[in-house]
Chains A and B, each alone.
Chain A
């Protein structure tokens, strides 16, 4: 699949926006190239997963064996799991199932797609809510602070953003459980699921989503605030101010559009962090997502499961980054 890559055209500015169709074709072609590059990158990453697991002490056969099994028993387990074959051959086998949606079998004999079928949508739901909340909160707070640079609001927002940014997710999560469920009983302490594999009630999403959002919102508020400050120094903004436009109109029509690419890139980076934070938050709230599946797969040296989670997470992050790129290109095109 790793053919010769075409020249990088993604950063070439669009000089003469032609008719709409022409632009659409250009964007599509560029998107295709980006996707191909990301797919190659993901394939390399997945190969790394297999190789790295191989380098760790122990393997899935020892990890899933019971005490009392002899060396011969463990060796048989190794054969049953196919671990006696070279790592690249196993990787190739696993990869060849990928296009058909087959993610292989876990070390304990369950289909990886079964393990991830409800876990992955659950994580997407939680991460999606957290990302949306982060975007809304950071834009609102950042803009509010930027209206009066150096004012009281600005100092308060920037200060608290720095403070929450420094709080690890687990501290926020534990505090939320203590206050909102154990002391007041307002919200459920943990997420429980029924036969359909999704959370029993929407109230179970509130605390985990907040635990993920708070630190990320802090980080993104600072990015928004900085991007707006940079953009405010641009000549066209000064012109708008001199034209006597009201501050909020200057912000929404002249400052914000130019700052958007930076803000989008910040949020895209947050997506990766949210997936990372999900591992911790899911454990504390017993949220049935892929974080816990991944952690346990690493313990079990369970390459197919780790690779399955990586492939799905990689696909999601790729899409988000692509969106951020498109926003940047669109803004860049629109500005010229």
Chain B
């Protein structure tokens, strides 16, 4: 799932871990890395009270609907299963689909449903249910972007336990794209009954009211042991209120509560801070198609003018890591060996001179306050590039205005992505010439070619080499200035164990959580 525009994802943080560029914790066979202290034998029982962000007016009960609330997504993810889920290494793990097999040309993919998978009403999950659900998803306005390259008629059942997807083009990363929204409901569920549709997930819905819900353990879950008796989800509009609830013991876990709360809790020994690296990218977009930043030298100059360490330290309070202008830092295929760009003001000035960049003018950097730290990052960036002789004025826009007027069109603006997706995902969404959401209007033939080769290559080692080429071009000339990655931050009471440490939507994998009390 792409990040919904109005999603309140609060990035931020405390202590720097610049070395942590890949997901930490978790062994290779572990779906979600677990927080420290998870070495003890899990204990069964207890109710976990979880706070999650959401707006009461933006509630949705439809697993395939337009998602704005983390609270809704958390509830849906625990009640329903997707075909695949985020993992550490590899970054795509089986869930309702136990295994998958591509054809030679990487266009036809066969997914086998997990043995013993049952809906909460006891009926077994068949390929028809999965086909119905995927087609329902494909039929929503978001369907084309959530199931890229897959037409509804190319989703078919083969027998009782196999689903066949045929992609319009070779796509080595198809299973990764099924991680976030492919929730399965029984076939022929009518739209009016969708809120009551039984799921197949680790928890069953006991009740839902106004964004709050109680979920009870599904003892029959095919995916293994679930330790908690119940999970109570509480909706919070503001991270501050959620932090107060945790500090005063009204909830046990504050999901994705952000850096400000982590700073508040730092002095207290009775609160665990769970940091999930590579959670949120807040790049600055420089328009490449036309305008003052069309010259690659100018973009290079700005990338050399920014002080990345200071950005991480001040904007994220240190809860984050320095990045290298390449999106997809959490990907196992992320090219760590491309040299890290540092600050070089002399070279930046030289490049601006060579490009005949007009330094007498003041350039507007457009931003919003959608997420914590975004507007602050713009302000700090403006003061840093002034040292290279570039005058930037920060303009804050109201959220809806920004997405309507500035996004995809502006010369210089901030954007954000909180989905922890792969290098390929970001390339396909934001950098390939024909992509519908090419944020910087970037058209680069060599990049397009490298990208198409990479997603059409089945051999993992060979694909890694091709992906490196994709990242090299991106690092050199794309429209992105990615100065750092914010950690996702959860706060929890000391008794809560087995929490996920994956960034992005990996935070909802609570099926292995347990209470040591």
Check A110/B60 contact, CB under 8 A, given A68-B436, A80-B141, A299-B6: yes
Residue in contact with A67 in the complex, picked from B3, B60, B212, B401, CB distance below 8 Å = B3
Quick check: is A251 within 8 A (CB to CB) of the other chain? no
Q: In the complex, identify which listed stretch (B40-48, B154-162, B238-246, B281-289) lies at the interface while the others stay far away.
A: B238-246
Check A283/B145 contact, CB under 8 A, given A66-B1, A193-B209, A193-B212: no
Residue in contact with A197 in the complex, picked from B55, B209, B245, B400, CB distance below 8 Å = B209
Quick check: is B4 within 8 A (CB to CB) of the other chain? yes
How many A-B contacts at CB < 8 Å in the complex? 176
Residue in contact with B241 in the complex, picked from A56, A283, A293, CB distance below 8 Å = A283
Q: Do the beta carbons of B61 and A62 come within 8 Å of each other?
A: no
Q: Do the beta carbons of A108 and B236 come within 8 Å of each other?
A: no
Q: In the complex, identify which listed stretch (A42-50, A71-79, A316-324) lies at the interface while the others stay far away.
A: A71-79
Residue in contact with B2 in the complex, picked from A67, A71, A115, A296, CB distance below 8 Å = A67
Which chain B positions have C-beta within 8 A of A286? 236-238, 241-242, 245
- Give A153-193 interface residues, CB cut-off 8 Å to B: 177, 181-182, 185, 188-190, 192-193
Residue in contact with A300 in the complex, picked from B3, B58, B61, CB distance below 8 Å = B58
The 6 closest A-B pairs by CB, nearest first: A68-B145, A296-B57, A296-B55, A58-B404, A58-B400, A189-B244
Quick check: is A94 within 8 A (CB to CB) of the other chain? no
Cα A177 to Cα B264 in complex, Å, equals 14
Cα A108 to Cα B69 in complex, Å, equals 11
Q: Do the beta carbons of A70 and B436 come within 8 Å of each other?
A: yes
- Range class of the A interface residue count: 35 or more
Q: Do the beta carbons of B212 and A115 come within 8 Å of each other?
A: no
Cα A283 to Cα B67 in complex, Å, equals 21
Which chain A positions have C-beta within 8 A of B237? 282-283, 286, 292, 296
Residue in contact with B248 in the complex, picked from A71, A189, A301, CB distance below 8 Å = A189
Q: Do the beta carbons of A299 and B399 come within 8 Å of each other?
A: yes
Quick check: is B185 within 8 A (CB to CB) of the other chain? no
Which chain A positions have C-beta within 8 A of B57? 106, 115, 292-297, 300, 302, 305
Q: Do the beta carbons of B66 and A181 come within 8 Å of each other?
A: no
Cα A315 to Cα B96 in complex, Å, equals 50
Which chain B positions have C-beta within 8 A of A108? 58-60, 65-66, 68
Which chain A positions have C-beta within 8 A of B221? none
Residue in contact with B142 in the complex, picked from A69, A71, A300, CB distance below 8 Å = A69
Which chain A positions have C-beta within 8 A of B353? none
A-facing mask of B60-85, CB < 8 A → 1, else 0? 11100111100000000000000000
Across the interface, name the chain B residue whose C-beta is closest to A117. Answer: B210
Q: Which residues of B contact A (CB under 8 A)?
A: 1-6, 55-62, 65-68, 141-142, 144-146, 207, 209-212, 214, 234, 236-238, 240-242, 244-245, 247-248, 250-251, 398-401, 403-405, 429, 436-437
Residue in contact with B66 in the complex, picked from A65, A71, A118, A188, CB distance below 8 Å = A65
Residue in contact with B238 in the complex, picked from A56, A77, A284, A305, CB distance below 8 Å = A284
Cα A292 to Cα B209 in complex, Å, equals 15
Which chain B positions have C-beta within 8 A of A115? 56-57, 59, 210
Cα A177 to Cα B405 in complex, Å, equals 39
Cα A197 to Cα B209 in complex, Å, equals 6
Quick check: is A25 within 8 A (CB to CB) of the other chain? no
Which chain A positions have C-beta within 8 A of B55? 292-293, 295-296, 299
Cα A299 to Cα B1 in complex, Å, equals 21
Cα A65 to Cα B3 in complex, Å, equals 10
Q: Do the beta carbons of B404 and A57 come within 8 Å of each other?
A: yes
Q: Which residues of A contact B (CB under 8 A)?
A: 56-58, 62-71, 73-74, 76-77, 80, 106-110, 115, 118-119, 177, 181-182, 185, 188-190, 192-197, 282-286, 288, 292-297, 299-302, 305
Check A109/B65 contact, CB under 8 A, given A58-B404, A284-B240: yes
Q: Do the beta carbons of B248 and A73 come within 8 Å of each other?
A: no
Cα A109 to Cα B67 in complex, Å, equals 11
Which chain B positions have C-beta within 8 A of A76? 141
Which chain A positions have C-beta within 8 A of B144? 69-70, 73
Across the interface, name the chain A residue whose C-beta is closest to B213. Answer: A195
Q: Do the beta carbons of B59 and A110 come within 8 Å of each other?
A: yes
Cα A195 to Cα B58 in complex, Å, equals 19
Residue in contact with B436 in the complex, picked from A69, A181, A302, CB distance below 8 Å = A69
Which chain B positions have C-beta within 8 A of A80? 141
- 9 A–B contact pairs at CB < 8 A? A62-B403, A66-B145, A70-B436, A73-B144, A177-B244, A193-B210, A195-B207, A284-B241, A299-B399
Which chain A positions have C-beta within 8 A of B207? 195
Which chain B positions have C-beta within 8 A of A109? 60, 62, 65-66
Q: Do the beta carbons of A63 and B61 come within 8 Å of each other?
A: no
Q: Do the beta carbons of A67 and B437 come within 8 Å of each other?
A: yes
Q: Do the beta carbons of A65 and B5 come within 8 Å of each other?
A: yes
Check A189/B214 contact, CB under 8 A, given A283-B241, A299-B399: no
Cα A304 to Cα B262 in complex, Å, equals 38
Which chain B positions have C-beta within 8 A of A65? 5, 66, 141-142
Across the interface, name the chain A residue whose C-beta is closest to B240. Answer: A284
Residue in contact with A196 in the complex, picked from B58, B209, B248, CB distance below 8 Å = B209
Cα A73 to Cα B244 in complex, Å, equals 40
Residue in contact with A293 in the complex, picked from B3, B56, B68, B248, CB distance below 8 Å = B56
Residue in contact with B5 in the complex, picked from A63, A284, A288, A305, CB distance below 8 Å = A63
Across the interface, name the chain B residue whose C-beta is closest to A289. Answer: B56
Cα A315 to Cα B57 in complex, Å, equals 20
B48 shortest CB reach to chain A, Å: 14
B359 shortest CB reach to chain A, Å: 32
Cα A183 to Cα B208 in complex, Å, equals 33
Cα A188 to Cα B58 in complex, Å, equals 26
Across the interface, name the chain A residue whose C-beta is closest to B195. Answer: A110
Cα A181 to Cα B437 in complex, Å, equals 46
Q: Do the beta carbons of B400 and A56 come within 8 Å of each other?
A: yes
Cα A70 to Cα B207 in complex, Å, equals 36
Which chain A positions have C-beta within 8 A of B68? 64, 108, 300
Q: Do the beta carbons of A190 and B209 come within 8 Å of each other?
A: no
Check A62/B400 contact, CB under 8 A, given A296-B55, A300-B58: yes
Across the interface, name the chain B residue whose C-beta is closest to A293. Answer: B57
